[in-house]
Amino acid sequence: MKAENISHLLNIMARLRNPEGGCAWDLQQTFDSIAPYTIEEAYEVADAIEKKDMDGLKDELGDLLLQVVFHAQMAKEKGYFDFNDVVDAISDKMVRRHPHVFSGEEQRDAEAQSNAWETQKAQERAAKNQHQDTPLSALDDLTHGLPALMRAVKLQKRAARVGFDWPEISQVLDKLQEELGELSEEIVTRSQNGANEDRILDEFGDVLFVYANLARHLNIDPEAALRSTNWKFERRFRAIEQYLWSKGRRPEDCSLAELDQIWNTVKAEEHKA
């Protein structure tokens, strides 16, 4: 990256936030109001990657970079830090967490580096905790802003590092069956005795948590798996709509059995491709 390129972007952001002649919308923004856009841009980056849209990825990475610049500008205005501090902090962290590259230590394979990374992060958390009155938890510093499935996996990974984990996938599957049974019991109770929505919500959450654990044991990203399935459902449902449109019909004109039959036809055609 040319230094003048990033300087140009920083100057654009500073001008947008300038009370004299800046943009009214940009001036109204705060860390809280911009945070949702930051999350949205990160997902749009992931979407471009999944679509293998490299032109789109270039644009989306630029949008994500703008979010960093926006937050850094607001922090600079309040005297917290500036963009250079952000760059210095991540540069120092990357060097610190890769001693096998920058400090002459023995080279590591990918798995060893992943373990070392987690160990380094645990040491950093412990150092931060030295001046606090509460005991250090293996779950410290896990942000609540993550998607729930992603955070579930991270919680489980942290717990597993201190031995709280099932060693066999079969045990996870047994737990899944147990949780599905408890959910079924609550559904039956509702049908017999009326509303027990809090219990159903609780048991359904337990089922999802075990599914996240199963994904972790299978080395699957549950968010990526569900995004893929969402895309598959959308593609197939659109194919149903297109087929019915060619016949002068709509989905709401059909029975569920007919829609299911068309769905199976679409699915079979995909498998042939």
| CA distances to 29, 178, 184, 205 from 164, in Å | 43, 19, 27, 19
**Number of domains forming the structure of the chain:** 4
Return the pLDDT at 65. Answer: 97
**The pair of three-digit structure tokens given for residue 214, joined into one six-digit string:** 């199963």
Q: Do 263 and 238 belong together in one domain?
A: yes
**The pair of three-digit structure tokens given for residue 87, joined into one six-digit string:** 């760059």
Q: Please give the model's pTM, rounded to 2 decimal places.
A: 0.63
Percentage with pLDDT > 90 across the chain: 63
pLDDT score of 154 more than 70:
yes
Q: Across residues 89-93, what is the average pLDDT?
A: 93
Q: Across residues 178-196, what is the average pLDDT?
A: 88
Question: pLDDT by residue (tens digit) across 109-144?
Answer: 767 776 666 677 666 666 666 666 666 787 877 778
Mean pLDDT, the chain, whole residue set: 89
Q: Do 30 and 54 belong together in one domain?
A: yes
**134 falls within a domain:** no
Contact, 42 vs 63, CB < 8 A? Answer: no
Return the pLDDT at 106. Answer: 74
**242 falls within a domain:** yes
**139 falls within a domain:** no
Question: pLDDT by residue (tens digit) across 163-180?
Answer: 989 999 999 999 999 999
Lowest mean pLDDT among 51-55, 75-79, 106-110, 223-227: 106-110
CA 257 – CA 265 distance, rounded (Å): 13
Q: Which residue has the tokens 């899944």?
A: 176
The stretches of the chain forming alpha helices (DSSP H) are: 3-16, 24-28, 31-50, 54-78, 83-96, 99-102, 110-129, 148-161, 169-193, 197-217, 222-246, 256-272
